[in-house]
Amino acid sequence: MRKETLEDIGEKELINRLRKFMPKNQALDDCALIKAKNNDLLVNNDSLVENIHFNDLTIYPKDLGWKAVVSNISDLISSGSKKTIGISISLILPAKTEWFWVEELYKGINKALKKYGGIILGGDCSKGNQKAISITALGIQGELELRREACKPGEIILTTGIHGLSKLGFMIQSKMNFDNNISLNERLISKSIEHFCRPKVYPNFLKNLLKTRSNKKIKKLGCTDSSDGLFQAVKDLAMASKCKAILNYEKIPKDKDWPKGDKWDEYYFFGGEDYELVFSLPKKWARNLISLDKNIYEIGYFANGESSVEFRENKKSALLKNKPFKHF
């Protein structure tokens, strides 16, 4: 009898099975919470692996360094971090790697830290057959705890920014062929490459949440980021919170030049690496936040029911049969 492999079970089931080795609910979110006397700490680890997440054709090492930091800070912010303390970096590199590549990587890392806060605390280096960058980031838990399991029926589902652009940027950098009837203008091409190579996060997100909070008794909210795609982010929230997510396709924010069609909807919902925030709020709070921040959009709501994701429009239901990004 053939033994199960990671390819058979996939990343989500792997994490689910590993939960038995951890304290209860420890694996529900990307960040771990460590209780401390003065400030509670958030700890996150994220890895980028050559030929899985990057290669020398798709991204320059300086951009890769930036992206490695941002992917971690995005997870910290989506857990409610109010400040990034710093990062520890582990590198796995082939012995023939040029010093120039490593130097440019660290220039990008420092540039991102200068932009979003934090310092390099240390790290480790080892030889391997392909490049891998693994970063552990430390943040300070803010007044609001943002956790995947905190969404409630009746709350509005919101997201920052626009999805799909990083996927398009990756395809452009990979020199993939598009349908002959698709014409991408220079503005969209440039914007997509920037989203793939130099993604941004929202350092003022927590402040804006507190500024618009309509009920100060609320201390916990449902939130995650869309590093694995918008669909997966909403699904993670629904599964952890044990409620049904209903998306309104007509409200999904897209770039004005984003092509139409089923394939482009697939890129949008399942592309990944956009690092936008996906979260839910009570209706009044959601309205206040949307009025303050024009980069935040309402895209649906949570309802009672079996943990799932569906569109309000039945004609779009087939889209959800697509598969999210696979790590194995």
Question: What pLDDT, on the 0 to 100 scale, is given for residue 26?
Answer: 59
Express each pLDDT in 158-189 by its tens digit.
999 999 999 999 999 998 887 767 789 999 99
Question: What pLDDT, on the 0 to 100 scale, is given for residue 34?
Answer: 65
pLDDT higher than 80, residue 33: no
pLDDT higher than 60, residue 27: no
Question: What pLDDT, on the 0 to 100 scale, is given for residue 32?
Answer: 62
Q: Which residues pair with 84 in a beta bridge?
A: 139
Question: What pLDDT, on the 0 to 100 scale, is given for residue 22?
Answer: 62
Question: What pLDDT, on the 0 to 100 scale, is given for residue 144?
Answer: 96
User: Mind listing the domains of the chain with CATH numbers?
Assistant: 31-141 (3.30.1330.10), 145-321 (3.90.650.10)
Question: What pLDDT, on the 0 to 100 scale, is given for residue 23?
Answer: 67
Express each pLDDT in 93-143 by its tens digit.
998 999 999 999 999 999 999 999 999 998 888 899 999 999 999 999 999
Of the pLDDT bands very low, low, confident and very high (cuts 50, 70, 90), residue 31 is low
Question: What pLDDT, on the 0 to 100 scale, is given for residue 194?
Answer: 97
Express each pLDDT in 300-328 by its tens digit.
999 999 999 999 877 777 787 776 656 54
Of the pLDDT bands very low, low, confident and very high (cuts 50, 70, 90), residue 286 is very high
Residue 73: partners with Cβ closer than 8 Å, 6 or more residues away: 81, 84, 112, 116, 118, 137, 139, 201
- Residue identified by tokens 């959601």 is 286
Express each pLDDT in 193-243 by its tens digit.
999 999 999 999 999 999 999 899 999 999 999 999 999 999 999 999 999
Question: What pLDDT, on the 0 to 100 scale, is given for residue 2?
Answer: 73
pLDDT higher than 90, residue 38: no
